[in-house]
Amino acid sequence: MTHILRLDASARPGLADKDEHGSHSRALTHQFVTQWRYHRPEDTVTHRDIGLTPPTFVSHNWIASAFTPPEHQEPWMTEFLEESDQLIDELVAADILVFGAPLYNFGMPAALKAWVDQVVRLGRTVDYDPTTPEDPFTPLLADRPRHAVILSSRGGAGFGPGGELAHLNHLEPGLATVLEFIGVTNIHYIAIENQEAGGELLAASVAEAERQVNSLVEELQASLRTTRTAEPA
């Protein structure tokens, strides 16, 4: 059984084409999960809406707690890390991470960055060994194959790889850097562009993104069947 963690980071609560001012990235995450469970209803999903309920920003007390060894933590430190522990537990339990992330001012939404800062933590998702300065970090989520699907939306066009504005896009590259750092290296990208232009340009981009989502669901589910068939009896 496969477990999916769906993370929506858009500040817009609704779905594009269904709700006024609805979110295109939420529409894609909704489509991905719906299509996945249509074919595999036995699989499970955790939905974390960080766009509407953002994680707490890192603070002095968080840093003091996270960088104190567990055996030396005071009770208030353990309590202070409860949110981080919950978010990390959700992350660790997932086989597939599905991110709905609009491009805000060339980068990820603040709510998504807050989630990143809560889950990238020494001893939980990454280890550090100062005695090996040439390669001091060990990603702790490399214990088994995990996939990340980044479903983004952009106001303009040309922000994808090879595009004329790709150098201004710090959303997917930034999130990929974080995921790879903690051990999630199978990363897939689908984006909707031309939200500001609207009309036929936007409609074509939406249709192509929806087609890619359906294709990716088929591809990942096929890879799961192949992997499990290859496992020894």
Q: Tens digits of per-residue pLDDT, 175-218?
A: 999 999 999 999 999 999 999 898 999 999 999 999 999 999 99
Q: What is the CATH number of domain 3-230?
A: 3.40.50.360
24 is in an annotated binding site: yes
Task: Give the global pTM.
Answer: 0.94
- Cα 79 to chain centroid distance, Å, stands at 25
Calculate ∠ Cα 108-111-113, nearest 5°.
55
Which of 128 and 17 is assigned the larger pLDDT?
A: 128
Tell me if 223 is assigned to a ligand binding site: no
Query: Does the annotation flag 65 for ligand binding?
Result: no
- Residue 226 pLDDT level (bands cut at 50, 70, 90): confident
pLDDT band at 52 (very low <50, low <70, confident <90, very high): very high
CB 6 within 8 A of CB 43: no
Domain ranges across the chain: 3-230
Token pair in block for residue 53: 């309920």
Whether residue 156 is annotated as binding a ligand: the answer is: yes
| Rounded CA separation 116/214 (Å) | 27
10 is in an annotated binding site: yes
SS3 69: coil
Instruction: Tell whether 153 is in a known binding site.
Output: yes
